[in-house]
């Protein structure tokens, strides 16, 4: 009788212990283990991250790091870490967290516009994906890549078309660059290449001219008219005489692209640079900035008119006054110079 009681007691104790262990395992796997207030929290895991580093990323977001580690060990995550951006949802359990970290890498939107150098572009992109600015710049300037794709020191900036693109956060520098080449080639379809040919321009020249248009006017609706002026001048063999190209030549010579130059002086027009369109005819050898798609389209689809000149319109901010003759242009220009002097804009 006593033996039977002992056996029953032992069995019950065993069941209790097994039940407790099962509860602990179930709790570790399926109980909520997040501790942030928002509905979601984002985790960025580097490509070379160790499990110790993953735990550092997660520590502020989890209630119990030890149960997460135990489940991660059980599910084989510790030796199979995936880089990327992940969204943890409020109330997730360890099983859900690990499944998310293994298979739910989120895309990010990467945006850039109007950078004046590849160094500035690299800095902008490095703020949005894992690749750092140095590796990006090295990829952009890789001689083998440039030679293979027929870009050079002057034209290479034009390969990057400003827009918003979807990438995974852990994209490396070469993958980003190669995707931008694909976007460039996709943009320059047969129709656009033919439009460029009809203007007696190459795609690279269209982008170089579009960059001048971009710098001349921020008004998208005015860009086709400005493009028409420059194309008229090219057809007539007249120098473009675009102030933004002179400003770029100054920046390129000094290497300081952050310099703000509000006024071009007569002495600047004598600067010996292929980008100085007061001295050298035709389209500059490369873009002076990254033109928006709207500026490129303005060159490919210019307004048809007889204008050869334009100058800032002091009575309609942001827009310009256009002229067909030099006499009319000089009258318009006199108003603009008078306004600059009144504003004390010296440089």
* pLDDT-based confidence at residue 145 (cuts at 50, 70, 90): very high
CA-nearest of 301, 298, 297, 332 to 315 is: 332
At 10 the pLDDT is 53
Greater model confidence, 79 or 258: 79
18-29 mean pLDDT: 47
Give pLDDT tens digits for 285-326: 999 999 999 999 999 999 999 999 999 998 888 899 999 999
- Give the CATH number of domain 20-103; options: 3.30.470.20, 3.40.50.970, 3.30.1490.480, 3.40.50.300: 3.30.1490.480
Q: What is the pTM of this model?
A: 0.85
201-225 in b/e form (b: 16+ CB < 10 A) is bebbbbbbbbbbbbbbbeeeebbbb
The ranges assigned to domains in the chain are: 20-103, 107-187, 201-342
Give pLDDT tens digits for 225-274: 999 999 999 999 999 999 999 999 988 888 777 777 877 877 888 899 99
10 Å CB burial of residue 49 (0-12, 13-18, 19+) is middle
Cβ of 44: how many Cβ atoms within 10 Å?
Answer: 15
Give pLDDT tens digits for 182-227: 999 999 999 999 999 999 999 999 999 999 999 999 999 999 999 9
CA-nearest of 269, 168, 165, 158 to 206 is: 158
Give CA separation, 267 vs 58, 102, 130, 337, in Å: 60, 62, 45, 16
User: Does position 21 have pLDDT exceeding 50, yes or no?
Assistant: no
At 268 the pLDDT is 86
At 19 the pLDDT is 46
Categorise residue 193: left if φ over 0, alpha if ψ from -120 to 50, beta otherwise. Answer: alpha
User: Does position 20 have pLDDT exceeding 50, yes or no?
Assistant: no
Between CA 276 and CA 281, with CA 278 as vertex, the angle to 5 degrees is 85
CA-nearest of 113, 285, 275 to 202 is: 285
Average confidence score pLDDT of the chain: 90
């Amino acid at each position: 009788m006593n033996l039977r009681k002992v056996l029953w007691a032992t069995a019950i104790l065993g069941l209790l212990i097994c039940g407790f262990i099962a509860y602990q395992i179930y709790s570790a796997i399926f109980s909520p283990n997040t501790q942030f207030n928002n509905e979601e929290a984002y985790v960025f895991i580097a490509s070379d991250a160790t499990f110790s580093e993953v735990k550092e990323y997660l520590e502020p977001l989890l209630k119990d790091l030890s149960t997460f580690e135990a489940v991660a060990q059980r599910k084989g995550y510790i030796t199979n870490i995936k880089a990327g951006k992940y969204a943890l949802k409020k109330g997730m359990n360890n099983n859900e967290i690990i499944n998310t970290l293994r298979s739910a890498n989120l895309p990010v939107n990467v945006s850039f516009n109007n950078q004046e150098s590849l160094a500035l572009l690299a800095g902008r992109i490095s703020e949005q994906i894992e690749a750092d600015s140095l590796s990006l710049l090295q990829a952009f300037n890789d001689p083998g890549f440039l030679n293979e794709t027929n870009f050079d020191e002057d034209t290479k900036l034009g390969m990057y078309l400003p827009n918003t693109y979807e990438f995974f956060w852990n994209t490396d520098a070469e993958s980003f660059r190669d995707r931008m080449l694909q976007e460039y080639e996709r943009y320059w379809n047969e129709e656009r290449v033919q439009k460029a040919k009809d203007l007696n321009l190459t795609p690279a020249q269209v982008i170089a001219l579009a960059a001048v248009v971009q710098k001349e006017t921020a008004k998208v609706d005015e860009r086709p008219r400005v493009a028409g002026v420059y194309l008229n001048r090219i057809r007539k063999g007249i120098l473009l005489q675009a102030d933004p190209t002179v400003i770029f030549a100054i920046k390129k010579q000094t290497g300081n692209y952050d310099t703000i130059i509000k006024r071009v002086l007569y002495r600047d027009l004598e600067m010996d640079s292929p980008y100085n369109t007061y001295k050298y005819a035709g389209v500059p050898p490369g873009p002076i900035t990254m033109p928006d798609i709207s500026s490129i389209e303005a060159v490919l689809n210019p307004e048809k008119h007889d204008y050869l000149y334009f100058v800032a319109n002091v009575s309609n901010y942001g827009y310009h006054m256009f002229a067909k003759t030099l006499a009319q242009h000089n009258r318009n220009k006199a108003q603009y110079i008078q306004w600059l002097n009144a504003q004390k804009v010296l440089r």
